């Protein structure tokens, strides 16, 4: 870790400050897209684990309600982000 900090030439405090800038009201990050991407990545990871466990011969039991909740979070996040992207072009 020390080698990376020396190579980048940045202090750890500066890196932490940038990480928490996402929670400020004035930032360049689209929080809805981040939440949607994380939910989508979790869905993909669960489906890959389900495929691998199915190939091994063991069932991965996933509650349908939980999976559908991730689907709605992804659709809602990307849908709202998409509408905002095109609504701001006036």
For the chain, the domains span: 27-87
Range among 22-26, 47-51, 58-62 with highest mean pLDDT value: 47-51
Output the six-digit token pair for 9: 């030439």
List phi, psi (to 5°) of 9: 70, 25
pLDDT in tens, 63-89: 788 888 888 888 888 888 777 778 776
Taking the CB of residue 47, how many other CB atoms lie within 10 A of it?
13
Q: What pLDDT sits at residue 3?
A: 46
Q: How big is the chain, counted in residues?
A: 90
pLDDT in tens, 1-35: 444 444 455 555 566 666 677 666 677 777 777 88
Please state whether the predicted TM-score (pTM) of the whole model is above 0.75: no
């Amino acid at each position: 870790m020390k080698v990376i900090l020396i190579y980048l030439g940045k202090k750890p405090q500066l890196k932490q400050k940038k990480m928490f800038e996402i929670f400020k009201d004035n930032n360049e990050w689209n929080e809805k897209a981040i939440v949607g991407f994380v939910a989508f990545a979790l869905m993909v990871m669960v489906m890959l684990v389900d495929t691998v466990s199915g190939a091994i011969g063991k069932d991965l039991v996933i509650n349908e309600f939980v999976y559908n909740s991730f689907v709605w979070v992804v659709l809602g996040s990307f849908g709202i982000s998409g509408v905002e992207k095109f609504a701001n072009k006036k």
